[in-house]
Every structure is written in structure tokens, then in C-alpha cells.
Chain A
Amino acid sequence: MASAAEIARRDEQSKTRTRWLLSLPALFIVFIAAIGPLFVMLAYSFMAKGDYGDVKPGEFSLDGWFSVLFQRDIFDDTVTLADAHLSILWRSVRLSVITTLATLALGFPTAYFIATRPRSTREVWVFLITIPFWTNLLIRTFAMQQVIRNEGVLNTLLMWLGIINEPIPIMYTDWAILFGMVYVYLPLMVLPLYASMEKLDFRLVEAGYDLYAGRLAVLRRIILPLVKPGIVAGSILVFVPSLGAYVIPRVLGGGKNLMLANLIELQFGAGRNWPLGAALSISLMLLVMVAMLVYVRNATRSGGGHG
């Protein structure tokens, strides 16, 4: 006869075994499908490039990483900073930061509006916010093109109103990329903002008004600190894909206004420089991680330890 302790121990063991079994598919996907390819990328970035793309396996080289920031003159071998790469990097960071701020500025009032509707109509508004997700990103981006091109909706309207005489060229500029990214990523800001605003106890807002706080003071001292988790989540959800945006700059930015993802794609395609592409990819990932760490740390520090 097994003692009670023995039975309890066996039961615990079998439960542990079951849990591991159940988590196998998830572990498989995480390790084989997500982390595995990253190691392949890491390995490629340290190999010499093949003549027609690909890499020369087993041939160690730092050329890929070197080319991320520097370039060697083909005639006299002098080393200079890779201006093209740096300007693309700068554009990516700049546009991503502006996109995050713009979606926050547009998304905050939107989320507040939805959160203050009667409970029954809130779901309708949230539903409306998610409608763009049903359409393919490429199609949404081409739709944006129809709006901002020279003969597009925006220019036609402005000219018809007599505000401008000639169309403003927006297509194939940084502005076009910005418009596209704000349009595409806005729902990713609104939804987490709404989620934390919905939990906001509006009696606290009343308490603020009662204690002589005006509208601005209530927003700054009560609403903002309490919905900060939503602001942090929304900013991450917008900033990360913005930094890695590919389709939007490709369609709206044209050939000149590349962002990091386009540069990476170029290396695996026409550039035939897979080690550089791999090194750029990992650089992009590190950039995102560092940015997130700095941002989240700052956000939680100024939050007074709450949220």
C-alpha cells in the first residue's frame, strides 16, 4: 500500500508530466519556428557572401557586420561611414517616432470617446476600429496612394476648395510614408488605449473635479497616470512594426525613400549580399530591443511605481 504522501507525490509528478506534454506544440513553435531561424541569421551574418547571393558556408567573415555602418572605397580601400545606410536608419527611427506620437495624439481622444460611450454602443465603435484589419495591408496602402497622389482625393479636394492652385506632391516623400503608417497603425494604438481607459474609474475623474482640478489638471494628474499601461502598450505596438515597415515605404516612398526593411530586402535580392542582410536584420532587432528597454524603464519610473 502506498502512503498518502507517496500518492500525493505521484499525482504531482503526473501533473507535471501532463503540463510538459501539453506545452510541447508551443515549445516546438517557439524554438524551431521562431528562435531557430534567428540563429541561422546570426550564422549567416558571420559568413562570406556568395557570388550569386547565398553564403559560403564555413568561410568566416566580418564583412557583413562591417558593411552595416562602414563602406570601403573600391579604388583606394579607404574606410568611410556608410552614409546611405545611416540616412536610412535615421529615416526609419525618425518616421517611427513621429508615427508613434501621431497615433498617440489621434488615438487618445478616440479611445477616450469610445470609453465614455454607454456600454452597449462601445462594442460598435470598437468593431468599427477593427474593420481595416479585414483588408490586406497592401490594398490599404494602395488606397492611401489613391488619397495622396497628385490627382488623388486630397489634392483634388484642396484644389476644388481653392486652397491650393497646384497639387502638393506627397507621393514618394517621407510624408507619404508617414501618412500611410499613421493610417495603418492607428488601430494598434487605439485598442490598448481603449482597453485601459475602459477600466478607468470615472468616479476618480469626478473626485478630481471635486478637489478643484480643472479639465487639464484632471487629464494630467489623474487620467494620464492611470491609463499609462495602455499608452506604453500602444506605443510598443505601433513603434515596433513602424521601424520594420516594408510594404508602406515600398509603395508610398518609392525607390528613393527606403526604410530599414527595404534595405534588408535589397540585400537578399538585387544586392546579393546575404551576410549584410542578416547583419542588418539583427541590428534592427537589437535597435527595437534597446528602444523598448529604455522606453519601458522610463515609463515605469515616472509612473510612481503604479501600473
Chain B
Amino acid sequence: MPEPSPVPDARIAVDCHGIVKQFGEGPRALRALDNVSVAIRENEFFTLLGPSGCGKTTLLRMIAGFEYPTEGTIRLHGEDIAGLPPFKRPINTVFQSYALFPHLTVWENVAFGLQMLGWAKGKIEARVAEMLKLVHMEELAQRRTDQISGGQAQRVALARALAPAPKVLLLDEPLSALDYKLRKEMQIELKRMQSETGITFIFVTHDQEEALTMSDRIAVMSKGRVLQVGTPWDIYDKPAERFVADFIGETNFLSAAMVGIEEGVARVRLPSGIEISASLAEGYRPAGEATVVVRPEHARMVTTGGQLSGVVENIVYFGTDTHIHVKLDQGSTFMVRQQNSRSKSCGASVGDRVGIDIAPDAAQVLRD
């Protein structure tokens, strides 16, 4: 995936600064968000990614106005919106449950926000028609919301939230209720709508694959904190912390010893005694013991040589690729992902002694 060039002077749409959210008081108080700061740029597809309970939905609800921060400020295009109720914020939400009004038709649902804004009748009709066309729901405009499928309800929720042309659209795990195939389709649809409308999308998900395929930038969250903000490429290839590396995709962790740092690149000694280069998070200068991560597809199984060696423990066939688990001589297990080719064999069988060749620039030192 090509890395979108970062625009340093891009205008900031939503600026959350020093957000703390505490539920309850005293020793039983729960910190849902602990000093969170993120700046979301205009026209950006920004994703809050993390496991359930990491605070991503709480942050989203604060931007929407359903919760108020205990500490910190939220600015929309430079303007502090902390005191504004949700119905005065030019921000709309696609809810996880869609929250379509069951007593209204599809058409009335989409028109609701426009009616509340006091648009003229003709203008509302034109806008609703435009929105229903955007989500391919023109034919079902007069249906009641309990007479449409989950995927269709999802489209209606999207049309309803986009109709008032909000400055920012919030999406709270909108695809989680859809089946796999529909989810894939909607991911592409959402991306298309974001580029067509030019609206800033803030997307919440716990699905790392979804985050990687759709986002311009991702904020990885855990336990109320933002661990890393970056492009999908940054997050996947240059994870700064163990949690990020572990949560996104599959990773091999190797304990290594720091040898030295030259021009921002570390030399580390692997357990096998071989030294390799590994990239470092900017400004991070560790010494002594360190953890190095290598993605399974950035290593290759070789019959001789390689920086690591071990015995093939398990071979798992996945259709497009094969995972080979190698028990290293030092005890830990290392996984190699190998693209399948027309020739059936992966080149080894369980019990074989093999070497592992790590691609140059593939290793990354974690901030522990």
C-alpha cells in the first residue's frame, strides 16, 4: 500500500486535547480515557482502533456530544465545542445498532435531520433523493425500517447521517453486524462515499483488517490511551509498542541485545548470536535488552544459512498462503508466512531442520 504523503499544514478538523474521562469517584473510579490527544485532519478517513473497552467509543461519543470530558478540550475547526449539546454540533453519527426510527419510513428517516434543520420542503425532497441514490436505496424509500435487511438498514443509516452534510461523520463499528461478504462490499462503498463527499470520517472499529484497508490514518488505543497514530503502513510495519505489534496482524517477537545505533538504525544481536539491523521509533535510543519484531511475511524459510535456525514444528495451509511454525534452537517459536505457488509443497515437512532468513529492514525495535 502506498503511503499517503503526510501534509504537515493540513487543516485540523477535530482536535482532541488532553481528554480525560472518569466514571465515578474515589477508589472505584474508572478512567475510560486517560490524557488522550489526537488531531484529525480535514477530509481524512481516521480510524480509532482497539479492543473492546479501550475507550474508542467513549471518545467518539464525546466528539458527538453524548458524553462530556472530565478534563481536556475538543475543538471543531478551531472552535471549542465542549459546551454544545449534540443537536447543535455539525457532526452526525452512524450508530452501531443503526438506530433507525422504527415509526418512520426509509424516506422519513433520511429527511429527519433536514426537517429538524428547517430546510424548505423542495430542498429536502431533492436532498433525500440524492442521498438515497448515493446508497442505492431509491426503490425502498417508502418501506418501513423493519422491512429491510441489515445491509440496507446500514445504508439508510449512512444516508441519514450524510444528508445534512455534516463537517464530520462519526461511524461506531457500523459494519460489525454484517456478514463477511457484505462487510467487504461496504468497506469499499464507505471509502467511495468518503472521497465523493469530502467529509471527514472518524471510524471506530476493533477489526484491524478493516482499519488497515480503509483508513488514511489510524490511532491504536488500549486501556484509555492512544499508543500510536499513523498511516496503516506505519502502524503495520513500524509498530512502536508491543501492544500495537501484537494487536495488528501476526508478529514474531524476538528478545535481542542492543549493540549500537547508527543514523537512527539499530544493530541488534539475535539469540542465535547473529547481528542484524533493525529500525527504531523516532527519538528512541534503547540500550541493553530489547524486543525486536519481524512480520511473518518478511521472513523466508531457507534450507541452509539464515539468521535463525530451528526445526519445523507445524505447517498450516491457508489457501493463499502457508504458515510454517519453526521451533527455534533457543526455545521460542517463529512463524513464517509463505505465499503458495502452483507447486504443491511448501518445501519442508514437519521435523526438518531449516534456517530463517529475515529480509533487510524487516526488523523493528519495540518501545517497551
Interface residues contributed by chain B, number (CB under 8 Å)? 26
B183 within 8 A of A: no
Which chain A residue has the least Cβ–Cβ distance from B85?
A209
Contact of A209 with B86 in the complex, beta carbons under 8 Å: yes
Cα distance A225–B101 in the bound complex, in angstroms:
10
Given A211-B92, A211-B160, A306-B99 contact (CB < 8 Å): no
Which residues of B have CB within 8 Å of A212? Answer: 87-88, 113, 116-117, 164
B100 to chain A, nearest CB (A): 8
A248 to chain B, nearest CB (A): 37
Given A210-B87, A211-B92, A204-B116 contact (CB < 8 Å): no
Scoring A residues 188 to 222 as 1 if CB is less than 8 Å from chain B, else 0, what string do you get? 00000000000001011011111111100100011
A226 within 8 A of B: yes
Which residues of A have CB within 8 Å of B99? Answer: 201, 203-204, 206-207
Given A206-B66, A226-B102, A211-B112 contact (CB < 8 Å): yes
Contact of A207 with B93 in the complex, beta carbons under 8 Å: yes
A306 to chain B, nearest CB (A): 4
Contact of B116 with A217 in the complex, beta carbons under 8 Å: yes
Contact of B101 with A222 in the complex, beta carbons under 8 Å: yes
Given A217-B116, A306-B144, A210-B93 contact (CB < 8 Å): yes
A25 within 8 A of B: no
Contact of A207 with B87 in the complex, beta carbons under 8 Å: no
Given A212-B164, A304-B103, A206-B86 contact (CB < 8 Å): yes
Cα distance A267–B95 in the bound complex, in angstroms:
63
Scoring B residues 81 to 124 as 1 if CB is less than 8 Å from chain A, else 0, what string do you get? 00001111001110101011111100000001100110000000
Contact of A225 with B116 in the complex, beta carbons under 8 Å: no
Which chain B residue has the least Cβ–Cβ distance from A206?
B66
Which residues of B have CB within 8 Å of A226? Answer: 102-103
Given A209-B86, A210-B87, A225-B103 contact (CB < 8 Å): yes
Scoring B residues 152 to 168 as 1 if CB is less than 8 Å from chain A, else 0, what string do you get? 00000000110010000
Contact of B144 with A207 in the complex, beta carbons under 8 Å: no
Contact of B92 with A203 in the complex, beta carbons under 8 Å: no
Contact of A214 with B87 in the complex, beta carbons under 8 Å: yes
B64 within 8 A of A: yes
Contact of A303 with B103 in the complex, beta carbons under 8 Å: yes
Task: Kindly name the residue among A207, A226, A306 whose own CB sees the greatest number of chain B CB atoms within 10 A.
Answer: A207
Cα distance A241–B241 in the bound complex, in angstroms:
70
Query: Which of A203, A204, A211, A306 is the one whose CB lies under 8 Å from B113?
Result: A211
Which chain B residue has the least Cβ–Cβ distance from A228?
B103
Contact of A207 with B104 in the complex, beta carbons under 8 Å: no
Contact of A306 with B102 in the complex, beta carbons under 8 Å: yes
Which residues of A have CB within 8 Å of B100? Answer: 207
Cα distance A203–B88 in the bound complex, in angstroms:
18
Cα distance A209–B104 in the bound complex, in angstroms:
16
Which residues of A have CB within 8 Å of B102? Answer: 204, 226, 306
Contact of A207 with B64 in the complex, beta carbons under 8 Å: no
Which residues of A have CB within 8 Å of B112? Answer: 208, 211, 213, 221
Which residues of B have CB within 8 Å of A209? Answer: 65-66, 85-87
Cα distance A211–B101 in the bound complex, in angstroms:
12
Cα distance A157–B355 in the bound complex, in angstroms:
94
Which residues of A have CB within 8 Å of B144? Answer: 306
Contact of A210 with B92 in the complex, beta carbons under 8 Å: yes
CB-defined A-B contacts under 8 Å, sample of 25: A201-B97, A201-B99, A203-B95, A203-B97, A206-B99, A207-B93, A207-B95, A207-B99, A207-B100, A207-B101, A208-B101, A208-B112, A209-B85, A209-B87, A210-B64, A210-B91, A210-B92, A211-B92, A211-B113, A211-B160, A211-B164, A214-B116, A217-B116, A221-B112, A306-B103
